[in-house]
Amino acid sequence: MKKSRSPKTSFISICLINFLYISFLQSQNIIDAFLIGNNTTTLRGTQQDGLRTPRDLDFHKDADRQNELWVINENNIGGRNHGGSTVTYYNAGQDNQWAEYRKDSWSGHFMHTASAIAISENGTFANTLDCQDANDQGGYFTGSSLWDSDTSIYARVHQNDGMLGSHIDMIHQSPYSEGIASAGGNVYWLFDGYHNAICKYDFGAPHEEGGDDHSDGSVWMHSDVAVDRVAGLSSHMEIDPVSGWLYIADTGNERILRMDPNSGQFAQNLNPYGEPLALYWRMSGTDLNIVADTDLTYPTGLDIYEDRLLVSDYANGDIIVYDITQDPVVELGRIETGLSNEIMGLKVSPEGAIWFVCANANELYQITITPILMGDLNGDGNYNLLDVLLSIQFVMGLSELEEDELNRADVNYDGVIDIFDVLLIVDLVLD
């Protein structure tokens, strides 16, 4: 005689299933949907917009300007061998998108061979310079420049009046800087390719537009975070807002690192080059580890969207997606663009679209998800009991599903169709 399950056991089982269901529901990430392969890649910007060796991009942090995408060029329309520029895309990705090219009159110094851009939540943005000396005099006077993203100020004020353009600050301690990440306010992290180190720059209080007093700036050089640049390639960085880790594309060492920005101890006072600073310290004892170091050639672009890390490989054009909630970090899959030796900057928009720049082709692309009604197994545009039945039959091994049905059945994007997907489909039907 078959023994029936006790009410207590059934209650515990239901509680366990509900717990697992909620856990899986909370773990969903829109980025995982790109790995199914049902994506649309759209050319959104060209040389006609003013793109000239675009190397990086970032979305504005102001809620009223979040569809404003800033692209930084290494070069400018004038054809000079130094002096970068920007192209701002308003209503990025929408039917009414339009572009505006700008070049500051002093970009030959403050955007000399511009390599990366990061926008802070306070409305400032900073860029790095891929050169040894921003004055082209054989020295080592270069680092990162700070600007106001107010369009009435940037590349508008003090353009030819004896002031130093529209920049609002600069610190010159990091030649061949390839990446930058905002830490909030006027604080930024730099990939210092000359010292093979990661540096924190605190610009302090910005000076007047076009001024030259940078003496309240501070630099912390984490020389124990040993990185290596590849000439002409950007090495992007981003702070995970959840964990606080700073993720780094260590291009020359073919790996991804992460470090605790709050770790490290004072090791040595350093003498600043060519300018007075409030503080210039070498740090040691930084908490860091290797995130990924396999199947990477030239990792360049890098961004974080919720609990997913996205990295572009310049060599083959792959965009690799990692789950950073796991330890060690797990590679979930790759988006193959086929654009080898092109992609540098990579950024996920607030709504979850993937954007990147092609430096040599002077192009900007957007990848979006071709809509799939996940959980609608029979493809009739509705959630109903038939969808539940089809999923149950497949999980129990009683029937097979076509490829498109399999894609729609994996509701939690974990690569496996199981009871958790069935539970999610049930919830969709009930809603």
First-to-last alpha carbon distance for the chain, in angstroms, is: 40
d(CA 387, CA 376): 6
Q: Which of 56, 292, 297 is closest to 180 using CA atoms?
A: 56
Mean pLDDT (the chain) is: 92
Q: Cα dist. 373→156, 339, 377, 410 in Å?
A: 47, 29, 8, 11
- The pLDDT score that the predictor gives to residue 202 is 98
- The pLDDT score that the predictor gives to residue 412 is 86
Q: Give tens-digit pLDDT for 151-187.
A: 999 999 999 999 999 999 999 999 999 999 999 999 9
- The pLDDT score that the predictor gives to residue 84 is 96
Structure tokens at 375: 């959980």
Q: Does domain 7-28+373-430 have CATH number 1.10.1330.10?
A: yes
Q: Over 70: is that where the pLDDT of 148 sits?
A: yes
d(CA 161, CA 49): 28
Please compute the mean of the pLDDT values over residues 277-298 and round it to a whole number. 98
Q: Over 50: is that where the pLDDT of 1 sits?
A: no
Residue 109: enclosing H or E segment and its boundaries?
Answer: helix 107-110
Q: Counting Cβ atoms within 10 Å, is residue 172 exposed (0-12), middle (13-18) or buried (19+)?
A: buried
Q: Cα dist. 203→146, 153, 259 in Å?
A: 8, 19, 21
Structure tokens at 315: 């060599």
Residue 363: enclosing H or E segment and its boundaries?
Answer: strand 363-369
Q: Give tens-digit pLDDT for 335-378.
A: 999 999 999 999 999 999 999 999 999 999 999 987 778 899 98
Provide, rounded to the nearest whole percent, the portion of the chain with pLDDT above 90: 83
Furthest-apart CA pair in the chain: how many Å? 97
- The pLDDT score that the predictor gives to residue 28 is 63
Please compute the mean of the pLDDT values over residues 378-407 and round it to a whole number. 90
Looking at the domain 39-369, which fold is it?
Neuraminidase (2.120.10)
Q: What does the domain layout of the chain look like in residue ranges?
A: 7-28+373-430, 39-369
Q: Which of 181, 199, 295 is closest to 238 using CA atoms?
A: 181
Neighbours of 163 (CB within 10 A): 17
- The position carrying tokens 């959980």 is 375
Q: Cα dist. 86→3, 100, 180, 427 in Å?
A: 73, 8, 16, 47
d(CA 224, CA 119): 27
Structure tokens at 121: 């939540």
Least confident of 79-88, 303-312, 418-427: 79-88
